[in-house]
Amino acid sequence: MAENGNTSNDLQIKVPDFEKLFTLDPNLRAHELEIRRRYDEFQKLLINIHKAEDIEKFIHSYREFGIHVLPDNSIRCLEWAPGAQAVYLRGDFNNWQQTSHPFKKLDFGKWELVIPPTSDGSPVIKHLSKIKLVIKTPSGELVDRLDPWASYVVQPPKSSGLFTYDHVFWNPSDKYVLKEKKPDKPRALRIYESHIGIASSEYKVASYREFADNLIPRIKKQGYNAIQLMAIMEHAYYASFGYQVTSFFAASSRYGTPDDLKYLMDVAHKNNIYVLLDVVHSHASKNVLDGLNQFDGTNSCFFHGNGRGNHDLWDSRLFDYTNWEVLRFLLSNLMWYLEEYGFDGFRFDGVTSMLYHSHGLGHGFSGDYNEYFGLNTDTEAFNYLQLANYVVHEFHPNSITIAEDVSGMPALCRPTIHGGGGFDYRLGMAIPDMWIKLLKEFKDDEWNMGHIVHTLTNRRWQEGTVAYAESHDQALVGDKTIAFWLMDAEMYSFMSKLTPSTPIIDRGIALHKLIRLITNALGKFFFCYGGEAWLNFMGNEFGHPEWLDFPREGNGDSYHYARRQFNLADDDLLRYSFLNNFDRAMNEFEDKYHWLSIEDSGYVSCKHEDNKIIVFERCGLLFVFNFHPTKSFSDYRVGVDKPGVYRLILNTDEPEFGGHSLLDSNVEYFTQPFGYSGRRNSLTVYIPSRVAIVLAKIRD
């Protein structure tokens, strides 16, 4: 460990400060040796990479590896295939001859080929030419493979009868150059989780440009400041939702070209919207002909060669994070998307699977710290995540990283310099589980207010959390969204404003608003350095009426459920517009009052089980929720810390939100100078059944 803050070649290594970690969470002191050991392994890895190759060059290996046109129009190919006996290049340029262009074997399993330009000085391999690598396996067989570093791969049309993706060489003469400056890191993320292909009401795969032109203005108007793009890294199976990646450096061609994705990024940044990539480094598709699996003719290469290299539940391959070249590939992959496409950060998928040898399967994670620091923890994977977060934040300080971790590993979202994992946020995955469980298994008058508050606020101190009521997981076929759980029996018949509302629709619209507002405001209850975050999956904001199911053999390749019907929210004759209006208002008020980002720990003053009332203060605002299915309360006394005159700023019962206009927004609420519910002052409110109100102080 370098204690002086430096190592050779001027790599700045800061002295770790574990005491900050132990001060925040004294329970971690019992595991100090393991935390220090993990950090030492991470630091050794970083120093060794830098000494051998220079860390900056290492993480930008995409500039050398793969197939590139040099300044003199020569073609240089550099590949890593340690198990191969020989490597060749074939394609349109050589009439698909298998062995006419052999690679030269280098050290450490690398292979190189340089092809001079043609007699007219142009590159031998033209833009949009098809190419493949040929690997001579240990058994002597010649097999086709796609370049792992390929930036553009395309599936042949169905009419061809072929399904394996082709590497199409991307080298346009007028290559798109990003024009817009990246936006500053938001003080608090309001994330619109999105899938390009379903971003249309038509029965088709939507494109990057359609998303840019049609959806980004909508997202901005709706009050979101960040987009999380799913299923960008190329995946041969559309129905995998992008989680069975076949080509890691190729942005999916089913939505358009690399230039089209860059256009989307420019439109987002022009609108001051921060863009996160859903990155899958936890596993890879088992595809051989158009994936990484058995790339060099062996069962290992990028993956563990034994049982450790397979995820049986996901039917996929698992990376060998101890391998130098795997680290090169994955770290370069992050830099590629940050620099080539201008992404602003990442949401890392499947982090729980990476962190544990059991992949978290069948493990309930009771919260016992021994579960996180025992032999079940995959230290090599944890070190990779530390390294990934280090290089992302070191070379792109404006970037944000989010971990999809259900285990609650302590310090995962603390800086690496403190011995943590280095993530900025983790997903609050227990929150949507709670809401779905309540809607599935409990009657409204059985909801436990204390349990709701506990679940929303139960999180690691000073570790950022992305709170959400539902995400894409709940929208997938086989599950139901909150709106569907609430109203699916009548959503197809009674969502028109021209028909009288029914008890089911009335309840659904009311609870949909309450659930989202309390999750947004209370799900970030304990302030964390850098602010907090809120996430919504596209369409859920207006209660999209149908689940999400991609075209596949089981549904006759239908696109009926692989689309988002935004036209429903835009139709003023339908009640979906009520939910859409409320979602926009909620985002606008957060942007005005900053309850996600102001350093205010908040205070819950009431969790009344019989009345089904929850009251809390946050950022000087007073939130009052009535979850009771039938009871309304007049002159209901609630505690408040600061004396003065208050007024309604947000009211779920407004007519534009599908409410019944039972409250007057012009009423002023005067505090009284006696304590109540642990607060120094109090006031009385009228709080109708299934209504939430937010009050702000307007004067002393």
Distance CA 420, CA 10 (A): 24
Q: pTM of whole model > 0.75?
A: yes
Flag whether 469 is in a domain: no
Looking at 404, 590, 653, 654, which residue is catalytic? Answer: 404
pLDDT for res 324: 97
Whether 636 is covered by a domain: the verdict is yes
Low-confidence winner among 256-265, 450-459, 498-507 (lowest mean pLDDT): 450-459
The per-residue pLDDT for 477 is 79
Residue pair 669/697 in contact (Cβ under 8 Å)? The answer is no
Is-catalytic flag, 404? Answer: yes
pLDDT at residue 1, as a whole number:
35
Please say whether the beta carbons of 210 and 255 come within 8 A.
Answer: no
CA dihedral 38, 44, 49, 51 (to 10 degrees): 170
- The answer to whether the CB of 497 falls within 8 A of the CB of 504 is no
160-207 per-position pLDDT tens digit: 767 899 999 999 999 999 999 999 999 999 999 999 999 999 999 999
User: For residue 366, what pLDDT is reported?
Assistant: 83
- What mean pLDDT comes out for the span 238-263? 97
Q: How many domains does the chain have?
A: 2
pLDDT at 527 over 50: no
From the number of C-beta atoms within 10 Å of its C-beta (0-12, 13-18, 19+), residue 2 rates as middle
pLDDT in tens, 587-624: 999 999 999 887 766 899 999 999 999 999 998 999 99
Tokens, residue 324 = 């130098």
> What integer is the mean pLDDT of 286-296?
97
Radius of gyration of the chain (CA): 27
Q: How far apart are CA 384 and CA 330, in angstroms?
A: 9
| Assigned domain for 16 exists | yes
List Cα–Cα distances, 111 to 61, 65, 80, 320, in angstroms.
14, 10, 6, 20
Specify whether the CB–CB gap between 55 and 8 falls below 8 A: no
Whether 600 is catalytic is no
Average pLDDT of the chain to the nearest whole number: 94
CATH number for the domain harbouring residue 687 = 2.60.40.1180
Task: Compute the distance between CA of residue 652 and CA of residue 312 in angstroms, rounded to an integer.
Answer: 46
pLDDT of the residue at 563: 96
Minimum mean pLDDT among 13-22, 113-122, 230-239, 290-299: which range? 13-22
Give 502: exposed, middle or buried? Use CB within 10 Å, 0-12, 13-18, 19+.
middle
Tell me, what's the pLDDT at 231?
Answer: 97
* Residue 3 pLDDT greater than 80, yes or no: no
Q: Quick check: is 612 in a domain?
A: yes
> Is residue 190 a contact partner of residue 226, using CB atoms and an 8 Å limit?
yes
Alpha helices in 444-575 (DSSP H): 449-457, 472-475, 482-487, 503-522, 566-570
Residues 173, 225 contacting (CB under 8 angstroms):
no
Whether residue 501 is contained in a domain is answered as no
- 290, 349, 405, 506: the catalytic one is 349
| Residue 656 resides in a domain | yes
Structure tokens at 272: 């001051």
Q: 12: domain range?
A: 8-50
Q: Does the residue 298 lie in any domain?
A: no
Model confidence at 637: pLDDT above 60: yes
As beta bridge partners, residue 345 has 276, 400
Contacts of 53 (CB under 8 A, 6+ apart): none
Note the pLDDT of residue 9: 55
Q: How many CA atoms lie within 13 A of 203 on its CB side?
A: 5
The answer to whether position 632 is within a domain reads yes
> Helix, strand, or coil here: 589?
helix
Confidence of residue 479 (pLDDT cuts 50, 70, 90): confident
Task: Give yes or no for residue 531 having a pLDDT over 80.
Answer: no
